Amino acid sequence: MQHKNTGIKRIVMATIYSIHGLKAAMKSEAAVRQEVVAIIILVPVALWVDVSLLEKLTLICSLLLVLITELLNTAIETVVDRVSFDQHELSGKAKDIGSAAVFISLLVASICWFSILITRYA
């Protein structure tokens, strides 16, 4: 029987696994690297613009939503590729749905940034 980590050790191990996952995604996926660069550039912009705290949080969280969705999409694609590299309708469908989720998260982030900034600076 495998012993499961509990308490603080579980939190520490989960954090370590999460960092490993982020590093793996950064290493293998250009989209993840691009989104991390966008976050590095746009979070300071969000903190700098003259908007309310809630609007700043919305700007930052919308960027993190894109990264979260991209990571989940990468996980889906990795599992599909692990199962088989053969062309299969369901594999293509899973990858397309993951891609659609990323697209929608990008749309949400764009709407947040556009609507907050345009109402403030237009």
Annotated binding site: 10, 17, 29, 31-35, 48-51, 70, 77, 95-96, 99
Tokens coding 21: 């996952």
Q: Which residues are catalytic?
A: 70
Report the amino acid identity of residue 55: E
User: What HEC string does 23-91 produce?
Assistant: HHHHHHCHHHHHHHHHHHHHHHHHHHCCCCHHHHHHHHHHHHHHHHHHHHHHHHHHHHHHHCCCCCHHH
Torsion of Cα atoms, 73 then 78 then 79 then 80, to 10° = 90
Residues 87, 93, 94, 99, CA torsion sign: positive
Annotated binding site for ATP: 10, 17, 29, 77, 95-96
Residues making up the binding site for substrate: 10, 31-35, 48-51, 70, 99
